[in-house]
Amino acid sequence: MKKIIVTGGAGFIGSHTVVELVNAGYEPVIIDDFRNSRESALQGIETILGRSVSCHRADCNDAEAMDKVFRNEAPINGVIHFAADKAVGESVTDPLKYYGNNIGSLVVLLKVMKVHNVNDLVFSSSCTVYGQPDHSPVTEESPDKNASSPYGTTKVLCEQILQDHKIAEPKLKVTILRYFNPNGAHPSAQIGELPLGVPTNLVPYIAQTAAGIREELTVHGGDYNTSDGSCIRDYIHVVDLAKAHVQAFDFMDRKNAPLAEIFNLGTGNGTSVLEVVKTFEEVSGVSLKYTVGPRRPGDIEQIWAEPSKANNELGWECELSMKDALADAWRWQQKLAE
């Protein structure tokens, strides 16, 4: 059974990926410092799987702590690196936090992987590397624009670090997964998105508004050049996204030669913020109170994925719909209120 380190494995995407790794016959080992996640996620994972998963509380910027985990859990067959700060708006107001953590943690991880001769890495990147594209859908060959936020810039720089490090370390295999907009929750309602404080992502804010936790939802911008004036994104169910990480390891196993491949992970469909609101109302039966406010710094107008490369080379495709994702997110929010 192959053992996979999952940094940030108690977070939203990380926890779902841990479940899918176990379902596929891998043995995940979580590293998380729980400053952007909650330990309750571990109980949710255990409830779904009927067993616990090894977890180490550590900061990925702490080289000594990381080295200790790798030594104690040896042999390690691969790593998925989720751990990062990820709020676009916060990155605009506190860029040094994002440069220090997101870039620093990757550098530490790569050094520790080299010491322990671990050569397979799946990196959690983002469609923010495309900035505001000239047109959508975007392919992996679409030019990287200037990222619209420091968060996006950290992903651009991390991808460049991986490409450079790959040249220096020929044994390294790297798969870079560029996520579009993950949402939803596990259908069991045992794990889901757990924002600390006010949500920065759309769907948990919608769910909290429907539950009465938030007074109203603010739609950031109603004057974009889109059909209804609100931003357009590619919303992908988190379970579909999690499964792609399993496929990434299968892909690297099939490739004898070292590689550094990039894949878009999205549905291939663009959905506006107001369309998400209306679909949530339809799925939940709850009328949402919302207003249209000013644009938010760091946001781009519209982007969605061309996922053909992931479909063809990873053997992965989305199976769940926007309605599935919103129904699962609402079920998760209702469980939190119990």
Among 227, 259, 229, 239, smallest CA distance to 317 is for: 239
Q: Specify the CATH number of the domain 3-185+236-268+306-319.
A: 3.40.50.720
Q: Phi, psi (5° rounding) for residue 278? A: -65, -40
Tokens 């390294």, residue located: 172
The pLDDT tens digits for 206-258 are 999 999 999 999 999 999 999 999 999 999 999 999 999 999 999 999 887 66
Among 132, 227, 127, smallest CA distance to 181 is for: 127
Rounded Cα distance, 152 and 155, in Å: 5
Question: For position 258, what pLDDT does the model report?
Answer: 66
**pLDDT value at 318 more than 70:** yes
The residues carrying an active-site annotation are 151
**pLDDT value at 144 more than 80:** no
The pLDDT tens digits for 98-118 are 999 999 999 999 999 999 999
**pLDDT value at 74 more than 70:** yes
Question: For position 257, what pLDDT does the model report?
Answer: 64
Domain residue spans of the chain: 3-185+236-268+306-319
% of residues, the chain, pLDDT over 90: 86
**pLDDT value at 200 more than 90:** no
Q: Give mean pLDDT, residues 315-320.
A: 96
3-state SS assignment for residue 177: strand
Q: Give mean pLDDT, residues 45-73.
A: 98
Q: What is the DSSP pairing of strand 120-126 with strand 78-81?
A: parallel
The pLDDT tens digits for 149-170 are 899 999 999 999 999 999 999 9
Q: What is the mean pLDDT of the chain?
A: 95
Interior angle at CA 253, CA 249 and CA 186, nearest 5: 20
Question: For position 334, what pLDDT does the model report?
Answer: 96
Say what the pTM is: 0.96
Rounded Cα distance, 185 and 11, in Å: 12
